[in-house]
Structure 1
């Protein structure tokens, strides 16, 4: 069965009485090059185990199964489970895990499914869960790489550099935890139904916490405060985030080597780290 052939997809879904769910952000691939290229980019191969989130009817799952030693595909929509039983019948190294990835015990899942293997993530993520899922995966520290197809604008924000319009608190979070690469774009016509936006494939390569950050909790408190009110200067934005006087905050900003009127969107990880240290010294 060609899981990217639109006529075969429609026949498959019709046999099972399946209806698309907008609330679950379901868009199935209809161009075979897309799952092939995503699987190639994921690093799946001998000695790897791949966690897939939201396999749909399984086109990416099949490609991953051809490369990796093991694939665990987590699917929330129980209406897709009998379909996956059919489409993945020829993939003995795939386990479909029913459930919500946000509620699963990830360490236990990885230990059970990928013992002795290098764990990776590869997924076509529903747009509406991108941020919480990536946050969960990065904070877990379980995976050697995370390759996902997401909305292009979100991928651009994740990879954005300081001083650009796309740069924000989530950019800093992702770049703190991982190297970020926007690999290629996927147009709407590659999906059924076609979404209204272009997708992009993003690879995150987790790394050790930056050595310049000495207090992670305070670092991210500064980051959130800085971007909480983007139109304000860093000084004014931080006034509502920390119980320090404006004079004290101004002194911290200057001691960190930053202009008094700088805005948070201009700061990179090292600058945020210096500022967090200065604020900590007065807190």
Structure 2
């Protein structure tokens, strides 16, 4: 079954991107196919997509041979997604619901990749949630996610750069994150005010003996007052100043100068 162009589907179903849901639709099939190619071959692979909307990226993932499970909370989009499911029999499962409340591991029995043009208003929360499972390596094999470019740069930032902060440490402490592609604002309908970019993350070996929650507390304290020296920003965290001393980290340094490994080292001493 041939699917009609996405613009036609949107017009027929009277769909418009909802600002409240952080939606922006992508229509360019070539661009969508390039996004679907970032994780590598998806033939026969399980893929989770969050916020498919009318199904532009969904179509590209299915064209790439993936078995897609899509979570969509906007009921208006369900009829358009049902048409996509009909065109790819047995390859698309649509779940109506809130991705913030659904644990992906309950949807899959084996490994799966996550590929999504994330709704802007919940993108960061979903991303940190997928990174923070206590069990590691995770069931997901990679994350290929569209963010506002500013957020994407914060995820891949190196120490001693203005974008480096909590998000970079959390993304890089047990994964490899790279900026895979920039997407111009004009590619979307309606065009957002900012540029977008796609981040690709693959899991790496987890440093042993570190609690995600402790690492979050350390980065929160350190970057919460990023202009202050560590001896000031970390003094409210029991054991943190002693940890700096044990690791030979100068307490006069500021948070943005610490490497991911140094943050992990502090968190390891506080995890015990």
Instruction: Please report the TM-score for the alignment, with normalisation by the length of structure 2.
Output: 0.89
Q: Aligned to 2:228, which of 212, 222, 232? A: 232
Quote the Cα distance in structure 1 between the aligned partners of 2:145 and 2:238.
39
1:60-90 Cα offsets, whole Å, 9 max, x none, are 1111112234111111100100121224421
Quote the Cα distance in structure 1 between the aligned partners of 2:114 and 2:264.
29
Compute the RMSD of aligned alpha carbons.
Answer: 2.1
Give the CA deviation at 1:216: 4.4
Question: What is aligned with 2:101?
Answer: 103
Give the CA deviation at 1:30: 2.6
Give the CA deviation at 1:139: 2.8
Q: Aligned to 2:175, which of 174, 178, 198? A: 178
Quote the Cα distance in structure 2 between the aligned partners of 1:267 and 1:89.
52
- Map 1:24-35 onto structure 2 (within 5 A): 24-35=21-32
What are structure 1's unaligned runs of at least 5 residues?
none
CA shift in 2, pair 1:270/1:105, >3 Å: closer
CA shift in 2, pair 1:15/1:180, >3 Å: same
Q: Aligned to 2:70, which of 47, 70, 73? A: 73
Question: What is aligned with 1:49?
Answer: 46
Quote the Cα distance in structure 1 between the aligned partners of 2:17 and 2:271.
50
CA shift in 2, pair 1:272/1:20, >3 Å: closer
What are structure 2's unaligned runs of at least 5 residues?
none
Is contact 1:44–1:120 with CA below 8 Å preserved after alignment? Answer: no
Give the CA deviation at 1:15: 2.2
Q: Aligned to 2:253, which of 251, 262, 270? A: 262
Quote the Cα distance in structure 2 between the aligned partners of 1:193 and 1:17.
15
Quote the Cα distance in structure 1 between the aligned partners of 2:211 and 2:86.
49
Instruction: Please report the TM-score for the alignment, with normalisation by the length of structure 1.
Output: 0.86
CA shift in 2, pair 1:76/1:216, >3 Å: closer
Is contact 1:58–1:88 with CA below 8 Å preserved after alignment? Answer: no
